[in-house]
Structure 1
Amino acid sequence: MNLTLPVVIGAVLGLGIYALVRALVPSKRGAVATVAQIDAMRARGALYESPSRAAQQDEDSGRFGTFRAGVGVRIADFYRQQGWEQRSLRADLNVLERSWENFLATKILLGAAGLFFGPFLFAIVWTLGLGSGPVVPVWMALAFGLVFFFLPDLEVRRDAAERRRDLRRVIGAYLDLVAMNLAGGRGLPEALMAAAEVSDGWALRRIRNTLADARITGISQWQALGALGEELGVEELKDLASALGLVAEDGAKVRDSLASRAETMRHREMAEIEGSAGEKSQSMLVAQLLLCAGFLVFLIYPAAMRVFQGA
């Protein structure tokens, strides 16, 4: 038994190191696999590409940045070979305008740091004489490695949810501006672009860049808005693109459709705000009840102890 346990621990650690090396060092692919990968990337299109090469190069400065960029490219290539698309996570990163490769590198490096942090914490506890046993550091390393590995996912999903709420508010105001421009006699393409030029916020900047790219590539602007909604995971933009594609030739119908959609989005936003306020009120009520219960226990405990001791 004394010999079996170190062998099992060494085998688990060796398997983890082997899996990490296999993930970081890409295997040599044949010509058929390379052509299939290029075709798959071309079919997916720009939807799954990093948002900005310039932003990625700004992030990848210095030796650590270069190392992280290399790790991210290899991990992204590994994901691509396995066919792991992670659509929702990519949409969250696109909303936050972050690089997919840097995100993967951050996950791997944090997971590796967690593997070392667990045994390091155990060494501190063992030095204080509070723990013993060779299995504990292994489990601590695995636990901290998993927690650190999934921390970036939680952060990205939280920040993306907040930014999508801001985007939906901007879209509601944007639809009103487009309807006002249409009422002023402008055509739909001019109204869409003019409404996007009223502010330099990140949401209208993304819409403005999308409309400008649509003019260059030759596709309709509502198709470009639908692609942006698919890229960012925002259903409102995809529904708007579908509605504009149906009534694009009739200015009055477009105006009515945009006004009704803006009103619907405002009502939905108000309902969400009221629901959030209700949840916070309930949380405050629970906290007050717990505080009162603790205060009552603090008052009753001395008297109760005297009664039981006297009995």
Structure 2
Amino acid sequence: MNNEITLAVLAGAVVGLGLYALVRALVPTHRSPVSTVARIDALRMRGTSGPIYAPGPPHAADQARRKGRRDELQARIGERLADLYLQRGWEMRSLRADLALLDRGWEGFLAQKVVLAATGMFFGPFLIAAAWAVGFGVSPAIPVWLALAFAVGFFFLPDLEVRRDAKEKRRDFRRVVGAYLDLVAMSLAGGRGLPEALKAAAEVSDGWALKRIQTALADARITGLTQWQALGRLGDEVGVEELKDLSVSLALVADDGAKVRSSLSARAETMRHRELAEIEGGAGEKSQSMLIAQLLLCVGFLVFLIFPAGMRVFSAS
């Protein structure tokens, strides 16, 4: 009897907490001055890089209307969570840099975390119900705790995915930056000035990394910043330290073309050596893994050969 009352109280508390969080997320409330100022700063930093929507064909408008309610609900949840993070002072700079590198929005990411958490809350009891239907005996108090555990686990799953994808993409971005520095140094050796060399080197390819650099340089002309300041801001946005270091070094020697050229060449060479060291380290780790796998295979083969003889000896004795 006491167990049933405890289970009912826990279930009611979980349901009530979920309903309260849902109502707080959907019902509009007045934003605090801190969140309002932070939102203005975020919009100022975003500048004109946000999407510009133009009227599309009729079928596109119909599709937008069909999914408008779902997108509006997701956007509202994401905005509420973003305001909550701002009010609590949770900046999450590394995670925001990963999202910026992957071209994903902060509010949409938070909404995805909430949706996955809600899915996990129902996934845990579903597993218990399936196990009970098959015939496994389980305690009735397990689904409550399992639902909470799955909700927390599913809530943090997008973080792992974003960090994994951003790590690979940031490695590719660093490779492109090394090649970009070589191109800038070659343009400087050809007699171009530093602003023209930075711009011309970014227009060599249409890859996503050079596109980000092109956009940063174009925004610098609009906002009145120098191009190396724009590169530093881009490095701070996507979490690439090499761009921030490049911005500082260019600000120091921007007026001396020979020093700029030698500095860029040395920096590009350093990045190549670092990349080669990382590749060699990864190859060494893979070699060690293959060696361990071969040793385990040899041990298993020896056990396979020795086991019949050992069984005969023990059975004879």
TM, length-normalised to structure 1 = 0.90
Deviation of residue 181 (structure 1)? 0.5
Aligned to 1:284: 290
- Name the count of aligned residue pairs: 305
How far apart in 2 are the matches of 1:126 and 1:249?
75
How far apart in 1 are the matches of 2:74 and 2:30?
23
Aligned to 1:185: 191
Is 1:36 the counterpart of 2:42 in the alignment? Answer: no
Identity among equivalent positions (%) equals 60
RMSD of aligned C-alpha atoms?
2.4
How far apart in 1 are the matches of 2:316 and 2:189?
86
How far apart in 1 are the matches of 2:150 and 2:307?
40
Deviations 1:176-206 (A, max 9, x none): 0000111111110000000000000010000
Deviation of residue 82 (structure 1)? 2.1
Aligned to 2:209: 203
Match for 2:281 among 275, 289, 300?
Answer: 275
Match for 1:107 among 109, 113, 119?
Answer: 113
Structure 1 stretch displaced more, 200-209 or 142-151: 142-151
Deviation of residue 221 (structure 1)? 0.5
Q: In 2 relative to 1, CA 306–23 (structure 1 residues): closer, same or farther, beyond 3 Å? A: farther
Aligned to 1:6: 7
Structure 1 stretch displaced more, 178-187 or 78-87: 78-87
Structure 1 runs not aligned, ≥5 long: none
TM, length-normalised to structure 2 = 0.88
Is 1:124 the counterpart of 2:130 in the alignment? Answer: yes
How far apart in 2 are the matches of 1:3 and 1:124?
21
Is 1:71 the counterpart of 2:77 in the alignment? Answer: yes
Which letter maps to 1:85?
E
Give the SS at the match of 1:294. Answer: helix
How far apart in 1 are the matches of 2:28 and 2:276?
53
Deviations 1:82-137 (A, max 9, x none): 22211100000000011111111111101110110110011010111113211221
Mapping for residues 1-311 of structure 1, pairs under 5 Å: 1-14=2-15, 16-18=17-19, 20-21=21-22, 23-25=24-26, 28-29=29-30, 33=32, 35-43=33-41, 46-47=44-45, 52-53=50-51, 61=64, 62=67, 63-311=69-317
Give the SS at the match of 2:3. Answer: coil
How far apart in 2 are the matches of 1:220 and 1:160?
27
How far apart in 2 are the matches of 1:103 and 1:229?
21
Structure 1 stretch displaced more, 128-137 or 63-72: 63-72
How far apart in 1 are the matches of 2:114 and 2:43?
26
How far apart in 2 are the matches of 1:209 and 1:53?
13
Structure 1 stretch displaced more, 41-50 or 272-281: 41-50
Structure 1 stretch displaced more, 116-125 or 137-146: 137-146
Q: In 2 relative to 1, CA 230–40 (structure 1 residues): closer, same or farther, beyond 3 Å? A: same
Deviation of residue 43 (structure 1)? 4.5
